[in-house]
Chain A
Amino acid sequence: MGPRRDDRRGEAAAGLARLSHLPSPRRLGLLLLPAGVVVMLFGLWGGLARLGYSLPADTSSADDHGILMSLGFLGTMIAVERAVALRSAWAWGAPVASAVGSIALVFGAPAVLGKGLLLVGGAVLTVVYMALHRVQRSTHNTLMGVAAVGWVVATALWLANRDIARLVPWLAAFLVITIVAERLELSRLLQISQAARHALVAIVGVFVVGAVVSIFSDDAGMRVSGGALIALAGWLLVCDLARRTVRQRGLTRFMAVGLLAGYGWLAIGGVLWLGYGFHVDDAVYDAQLHAVFLGFVMSMVFAHAPVIAPSVLRRPFQYRPVLYLPLALLHLSLVVRVLGGDAFSSDVAWRSGGIANVIALLAFIAGTATSLLFVRSRAGTSSEAMAARSGDSDGRAARWRSRLTSPAAAGAVIGVVVLVASIAFANSGNTSQPSSSPVVPSVSADGSTTGVAISLREMRISPSTVTVKAGTRLLLHVANDGSMRHDVRLSNGAHTPLLKPGQTVVLDAGVITKSLDGWCTVPGHRAAGMTMKIVVAPAAASTSAVGAAGAAGMAGMPGMAAPSASDEPDAVSPDLAGSPPSGWRPFDATLPPVGAGAVHDVTWHIKDVKLPVAPGVTQTMWTFDGTVPGPVLHGRVGDTFNVTVVNDTQMTHNLDFHAEEGPPAAVMTPIAPGATHTYQFVARYAGAWLYHCSVEPMLMHMGNGMYGALIVDPPDLPVVSTQYVLVGSELFFGPEGGVGDYAKMLADKPDAVVFNGFPFAYQHAPLQAKVNQRVRVWFVDAGPTRAFAFHVVGAPFDSVYLDGAYTLRAGDAAMGGGQTLPVDPGDGGFVELTFTQPGSYPFLTHAMADAVMGASGAFQVSS
């Protein structure tokens, strides 16, 4: 194929031999090749960033990936090749402008500068084709000129701030038409019929029409161009000589293999364009672009580089079969990416295919450089390479020059790489505000780290609130569970890359010292509701306040299904006062009699039980022995209690008896899952005591049902006919069947306020009493947060006992009476009263909102 290329140059080739004795622009111009490679490296860097790999040196390469690869790298290479062909110094303006423009884009120069220079590059290249047209008229040169106009239009639209995704038909016009024209040129020997030539022009015409249409209708334009791509692939398969040369050997066969594989991808790309139309930033888009730009264009580059590189550089090229490795890797990795990643939504396939694409390109560059630098001998060089050299009239001078120039060029490449890499690193990061360092502190004050799972869907972020204690380093495990691309950016600057559906990353939110906002930066998504908050827990809860969703933060609570992290909405009771479910029985409020003897042995099991907690709502409650509240313990002052507790759950729990004495760490022993422990204590003081679980987060354990009453009779307690125990508490509904909502507990926003675990329990099953018989009601407030004002409607109290003492006694000389028993959370007492007439007497907490939410019952008094 070499001789053909030299024919093409014709007059230009002869002139170059003369020129080479002078300090020609060509020598300087060839320095653009390493510059183009550097732009490619930045383009690939940006490509990796788009694949979700977290890379240092925040550049704009990710946004401009497509432009850098198509115009910055390939455009510069094509323009260099044409400048070599045309012997005019001004022709170098095209590659210089595109290389400088691309580097300006990479290094964050004003966008208009980079875009403008790229536009200039395309314009100069167009003029170069016009000049070549005057030297030698040909269909292929005209087609290449049309392709260069595609470059111009793409950059002009970009300058007008059109999105890069909407430039795709024009970028493809530039590269695809250039390559097809090149093949046409090389197929001259095949004697293509006039009809085939006209067919090709017609197909290219259709493609350009599609590109023009895309300016007005992206979808229609994409489909028209896609149809043209399919036709092009067919034309190439039929008319190109690759079908024949693939049967030859060596470099010729290598090229043919690369060409045929590329035509296959062109057809696939065309089908995707035609079938799916315009897509942006999704799997279809990824496949549409990379089938054409990687599968076709890069395969063409691989196939042609062994011919073009030696003729441009005028160095021999040593073909080695090892070049098949990057070629094979390119196509296999693209299959993995498009088939596994895009078609079957495998994130692993998408990312590993993508990184293998990059490795294939780098390996090919290395292989080409090796083939150019290390040539065994004259005899060993390929015929193409020798032909490339034959343009030099003076063979000895050429060898002498190549010896001199190649080390210099290599040294310059080393130097340029060092220069670019070091400046890129030195200028990386945000240097505009060095004082308020944007660097996220990586170690928390107390070294604790919390991981929270975050799910992104259309159009919400779940959980929407994450609560952590101040000083915690927060790692967000962000998963895009939606069907579009999303990301998360926090108000401290931490952010994820744009995530494909199914993709996950860990976002280091840094050490949380103040509350942060988070949102999805995809336009419109924030306004549509994709926001979240990271809240610092109040100091009071700081001993072990954890994330509302804090699966990892809930130490020792593996069974807790991260309440707020659930996507399911919290359960809502249609009517708190409605009928309880069938089979429901109220908690027995009757105070059990004191057992015989001074030692009371009981055994409880801590269990997670699904209980109806309101009409229409079932929750997984954490219970002492299966009920909420737990069993009532009853004894006298001085009695010993041996409470053996078996933990049947997957979570650590414990028991904190308020009547107990000793250091909590010693007496309130935690019970690991499956373990058993016996709590022993002597009741030294009388009272209505609360017991509860005090494993952190205590609010969660208490809010989910782990409490009960311990009644220790004062000495000389008068005997009454009826004694009841009521435990007041709040309920916080999580998802139906799930555990309570910790966020509601934190916010003191209960769904129900109850006596003995169920709203309006004793309206459905009233407590019984007799006229003129004294009733004693023990009351314990388990909270977790609200105080109660226990009141019986129509029956004043004649005795009130609170905090270990009577505040009012029956028969008191002052003739006082009681109306409410005010009980704070964690406290208890009792009241005594006598009903004088039969009938129904409501009782309630006189905190009226709480009474409406269920803290209300009734005595049924009979004669």
Chain B
Amino acid sequence: MVSWWSLLRFVHVLSAAVWVGGQLTLSALLLPVLRRRLPAELRASLTSTIGRRFGLYTLAVFIPLQVGSGIGLAVEHGVSWNTLAQPGYGRTLSAKLAVFVAVMLLSGLHGWAHGTGRLALARALALGSLIGSCVIVLLATALVAS
């Protein structure tokens, strides 16, 4: 049954899909092509522009939307600080929140590393962040089941 709550969950899932999907598309599809087809200077300016826009979108739209809808869903589900520590749903959710924070940090560090020319570090952080995003999706799937 589609209720207002399911609409909120829809927004939460869709927004996450856009962000993780964007991350995957950029690093798995776009960047390898750019790396092969474009000269180094052009590639650098293009990737940093894309990165900056993605970062801006993350800060201005994605994080507020995820946190806001996430809090709403938590309230609807009766989550409290106490229940976050309980085994099962509580711990899965708190693990998911912790990984979310970690992924946001890794992404931010990735932007900083890329901007300051630490390309190897930037790549490592990007991959870590990408796997982290997949872990969030995995934990979210586990939440629905429990």
Q: Which residues of A contact B (CB under 8 A)?
A: 403, 406-408, 410-416, 418-419, 422-423, 425-431, 434, 437-439
Contact = CB atoms under 8 A, between A and B. Distances in A.
Given A407-B120, A411-B126, A439 B91 contact: no
B63 interface: no
A429 B131 contact: no
B11 interface: no
A414 B87 contact: no
Q: Is the interface of A mostly helix, strand, loop or mixed?
A: helix
Interface string B67-102: 000000000000000000111110110111011001
B126 A429 contact: no
Contacts of B127: 407-408, 410-412, 414-415
A418 B138 CA distance: 12
A407 B121 contact: yes
23 contacts: A406-B120, A406-B124, A410-B124, A410-B127, A411-B125, A412-B127, A412-B128, A414-B106, A416-B131, A418-B102, A418-B128, A423-B135, A425-B91, A425-B98, A426-B95, A426-B96, A427-B91, A429-B86, A429-B88, A429-B91, A431-B87, A434-B86, A439-B86
A34 B122 CA distance: 20
B130 interface: yes
B87 A428 contact: yes
Contact of A412 (B92, B119, B122, B131): B131
B120 A426 contact: no
B138 to A, nearest CB: 8
A414 B105 CA distance: 12
Nearest to B92: A426
Given A407-B120, A408-B124, A408-B127, A422 B135 contact: yes
Contacts of A408: 123-124, 127
A408 B126 CA distance: 9
Given A407-B120, A422-B98, A414 B86 contact: no
B88 to A, nearest CB: 4
B94 to A, nearest CB: 7
B106 to A, nearest CB: 7
A430 B103 CA distance: 28
Given A422-B139, A439-B87, A415 B96 contact: no
B111 interface: no
A832 B142 CA distance: 86
A412 B138 CA distance: 17
A617 B56 CA distance: 86
A844 B14 CA distance: 90
Given A415-B130, A422-B96, A439-B86, A428 B124 contact: no
A423 B131 contact: no
A80 B126 CA distance: 27
Nearest to A419: B135
Given A408-B124, A414-B106, A414-B125, A419 B131 contact: yes
B96 A411 contact: no
B33 to A, nearest CB: 16
A426 B142 contact: yes
Nearest to A418: B132
Given A422-B95, A423-B135, 11 more contacts: A407-B121, A415-B127, A416-B131, A418-B132, A419-B131, A419-B138, A422-B135, A425-B98, A426-B139, A429-B86, A439-B86
Interface in B11-54: none
